[in-house]
Amino acid sequence: MGSAPISFKPRPAPPRPATQGATETRLRVEDMTCGACANRVQTALAKVTGVAWVRVELDAARAVVSWLPGATPDAPALIAAASAAGYAASLPAAPSAEEGSPGSPPAESAAERSWQRAVRLGMPVTLAMMVAEWGLGLGMTPGYRLTALLMALPVQIVVGAGFYRGAWRLARVGQSNMDTLVALGSTAAFGFSLWILASGNPGHVYFMESAGILTLISLGHWLEARMSARAGNSLRALLTLAPETARTRRVAPDGTTSEVEVPASQLQPGDVLVLRPGDHVSVDSEVIEGESAVDESMLTGESMPVVKGPLARIYSGTVNTSGRLVARVVAVGSETALARIVAAVQRAQSSRADIQRLADRISAVFVPVVIVIALAAALGWAFAFEPARDLQATLSRMLWHVHAPDSPLAAAFTIFASVLIVACPCAMGLATPAALMAGVNAAARQGILIRDATALEKSGRITTVVFDKTGTLTEGTPRVVSRADGNTPESDALAAALARPSSHPLSRAIAGIATGESNLLSEWRERRGCGVEGRQGDSLLRLGSPSWLQEAGVELGTFDGFLTHQASEGTSVLLLARDARVIAAYGIRDELKPGAREVIDRLRAGGMRVHLLSGDQPQAVEQVARSLGLRDGELTSGVRPEQKAAAIEVLQRRGERVAFVGD
């Protein structure tokens, strides 16, 4: 990667839905059955004048359209565009009830259930006929041929109905897709077989092939729908970070104040929130009263809670860990930091792999070309039967021997059906979603969640792996990792007793080092952002940051060297003081996960470059980097989420193909 560290400027936030409905339109879209359908709808809606961007959610059967600044939303134009593409769209009758939380579709979508039912019906029938024909050799017996008709008929009607509807929907607007090919191929095989039976012809029937086509393509659609539903789980987990209710302060006409629980969706900028210890922040706000430590690890990756006081910004989804805060709402809805992260995940989930987009483009040409070839081959056998049979006989001697049909009509039907059958279960209809699901399952067995199809497709070309720190390479929980030489068992017990009543993460780390009697202390209290204190008899005990104790006139004494050494290691230090003298010191750090160094080494051995990108303080990041064997140019600290994206872009402009590991 070279020796130069990453440098960047934060990029503007990506386009996202506005908080007011005037710049966003939501549609319910019917008849979408696969990713190709969603892509077709997205392309059609994006062509409407004034549209900034479109997100189509297949599993929720909806589309979200954002308009350019100054553009007038035109819902009828969107509905007309979807209709022209072959899909019925409408405005939801009751958006709040119809859609619920954006991006939170049901655990199992209607499309997934539909394809699953098709597979459950078609798979046993297809397997049974395969065993009968290929295993038992019953294909040409009269009894089996009639049985095969009775078995294939429900599959043709029930499973084929979805393909027939899809083909007809696009045929009405002069278009075609894989549904067209599947419908024609299965119908040709089934119809020709039915004609053979009705005419008394002793030839081979193709009921197994007609059922197999429908079942295999349905299986591909089901796998694709399952992958989409699994990807939605990560988004639903994000949405649960922000609470559904908030505690607000209300002022009565007589000047008295009260605290009221209200739905978070009703909050507006300017409302006043009251946050108690342990509360999750519902919307982005600015502190106006109080002081507390706020856990922002989900947003910044910083392992240590950040002390927040008046004028400090607190963000949706973060956790107030210790004190009471009063804050004024500054951003709601899609303007919050958490909502922007959710929007980014939604856009990622609506993306499609390059091979899928290529398949969508090819299918527009591929389907009519296959139909033309099938018709041309059928007409050739029908009107030039003898020359075609002579050519077939010549080729069969070089390849394999196959008996030609006995009549021009039989040959025409057979060849037409054969071309369509061979073309149907192709990579565009089955192999792509099957390969994607296989990759997703293989990664899931290793504890890896694939974000989207594009990420999976590109993972084989990665050259650089960028790691987050907190909770990824480290445990994510602060622990006591060192004690000063002057510490004693008695001082450890005092420190634990002082720390135990506090909910601050650093205090919890100290509380576990020893057993202590908290009731031996009196006048215990917590100094927000500084530490805790209490009395033991006539002595004043303090446990907190070195700067706080120094401001209180406490002498560091022999612990000065320990403090300097721990600071150079990127370790946080808490000091225990009795009156004006320090009696113990503790180094607290978020430790590396077991095997983290091995992962880095194995990536490098595989020819990949490694980089550490974290929102934590520089000293902590440098300490972790040294433990992992990373060089100065391979780490960046103090980076917020929106800046991380810009840092990744810097690497990409250098020609790197980047994988990011972490939150």
Residue positions annotated with a catalytic role: 468
d(CA 500, CA 658): 44
d(CA 429, CA 443): 23
- Helix, coil or strand: residue 325: strand
Contact, 486 vs 585, CB < 8 A? yes
**Dihedral angle computed from the Cα positions of residues 165, 167, 168 and 171, in that order, rounded to the nearest 10 degrees:** 160
Contact, 456 vs 450, CB < 8 A? yes
d(CA 569, CA 479): 15
Contact, 579 vs 556, CB < 8 A? no
User: Which helix (H) or strand (E) element contains residue 403?
Assistant: none
Q: Where are the beta strands (DSSP E) in 162-275?
A: 245-251, 257-263, 272-275
CA geometry: angle 294, 300, 305, nearest 5 deg: 25
Q: How far is CA 238 from CA 39, 317, 505, 630, in A?
A: 25, 9, 23, 31
Task: Dig out the tokens for 524 from the structure.
Answer: 């215990």
Cα 353 versus chain centre, distance: 14
- Quick one: which of 544, 482, 480 has its CA closest to 512? 480
d(CA 561, CA 547): 15
Burial of 397 (0-12, 13-18, 19+ CB in 10 A): exposed
Contact, 449 vs 553, CB < 8 A? no
